[in-house]
Amino acid sequence: MMKPLNVSDYRDLARRRLPRGMFEYIDRGTEDEVLLRDVRAALDAVKLNQHVLNDVSQPDMAVTLFGKRLAVPLIVAPTAVAGLVWHDGEVQVARAARRAGIPFCVATQSMTAMEAIAERADGADLWFQLYVFEDRTLTGELLRRARALGIETLVLTADTPRSPKKEWNTRNGFGIPIKPTLVGVLDVLTHPRWLAGVLLRAMLTSGLPTYAHYPPEYRTSITREAVANNVKLARRLTWEDVAEIRRIWDGNLVVKGVLTRADAQAALAHGADGIVVSCHGARNADYAPATIDVLPLIADAVAGRMTVLADSGVRRGSDVVKYKAAGAEAVLLGRATLYGAAAAGEAGASDVLAILREEIDHCLAFSGQGRFADIPRELIWRAEQGR
C-alpha cells in the first residue's frame, strides 16, 4: 500500500480501521452539518498573495507562545476519544507532539490520567483542557492536580452548554457513553483489528476505559452515564466561573470557543491570557460562523493584548498559514492527529504532523514569507487590491 501523502489519506485509513460509529463520532459535525461544509468552504475561499524573489531558502516556522518556543505553530487539541482510536492513544499522540516540538493538550475526559501521560510521554509539553464539573470543588481539585504536575497552560472550553445533537450516533449505535446495540456490536465485529488491538487489549490490561480524571468514587466506564451529578458537566457556566478559575489558576488561562468580539474582550477583562477562536470543528452549533470568517475582527478587537489561537477544519499546511494571516498566532489540531493515531498510533500521528510541517514550509515559500511569525494580514488576497 502506498504511504499516506496527506491528512486526507490518513482520514481514509482511519475510516477503514475504525468501526463506523467510532469514525463518524470523530469525523462528522452536528445536525445537518451545514457548518462542517462551511468551515471547509470558508478556508478554501481564502487566497494568499504570491510574492516572488524573496529569500525563502530556510523559512522559519517557529513561534513563541506564553514564553515557550514551538518548533511549528501547532498545538494538539484536546480530544476525549484518543484512547479509543489506538491502544494508549493519549500517550501515543503526546509522544508524537513531543517529537514535533509542540504542546499536547490533555482532555478532561481523557481515558488516561494526566499524571500517566506526563510519566510515559516524558518531556512532553502538556496543557490541560477543562470542562467545569457541576461540583466546583471537584473542578478546583482537578486544577490543583494539573498545577502540581507542572502544567502551565489551562484551556477552558466554554462553548458546550449542552450535548450537541448528533443523530447518526444513535443510528450507528455509538455515543459517549457507549451503549451496546445490535448495530454497534456488528460494527465492532466487522473491524477485528480495532476490536483486538484497542478494545480487547484495554480490557485485558486495565479494564473497560474510564474517564481517568473523575475522582475514583465517581469514576464509571465509558459504557455508563456519570452516576453522580457532581461530575456532570456544568449547565450553568458564566464569566463568574472564569473569574473564579482565574483566582485559583496562577498559570496561563485560555478561553476556548470564542466567536465574537464582545466575548474576546470579556475574556480579556476577566484575566484570560489567551483565547481560541473556535467553532468547535463544527461539532456543536450547526448555525455558527466558520472560524476563519470571524477571526480577523476578533484579533483586531484584542489588538495584541492577549494570545489569539484558532482551530477547526485544518487539513493542509496552507490552512494554518491562512489562520495566521487572519490573526491567529498558532493553530490547534483535533481530527488530523486522531486520523494519524487511528491508522498507526504514535507513528501515524507523527507523520501527520510532519506532513503539515512540510506543507507549511511550502506555503511560506510560495507566498514569499521568510518567517511564520511575521506573516501580515495583507498576505490574504482581495480582489480590490488589484494584485
Catalytic residue annotation: 280
Beta carbons of 284 and 322 less than 8 angstroms apart: no
Peptide bond into 177 cis (omega under 30): yes
Beta carbons of 253 and 306 less than 8 angstroms apart: no
Cell of 225: 452515564
Beta carbons of 160 and 257 less than 8 angstroms apart: yes
Separation CA 301–CA 259 (nearest Å): 12
Cell of 281: 470543528
List the beta strands (DSSP E) in the chain.
63-65, 68-70, 74-76, 104-106, 126-130, 153-157, 252-258, 274-277, 307-311, 330-333
Beta strand 153-157 pairing with 68-70: unpaired
Cell of 211: 474517564
Separation CA 108–CA 141 (nearest Å): 12
The secondary structure of residue 179, as a DSSP letter, is -
CB atoms within 10 A of CB 376: 10
Separation CA 46–CA 293 (nearest Å): 10
Cell of 50: 504570491
Separation CA 105–CA 118 (nearest Å): 11
- Whose cell is 494526566? That residue is 114
Expressed in percent and rounded to 5, the helix, strand and coil fractions of the chain are 50, 15, 40
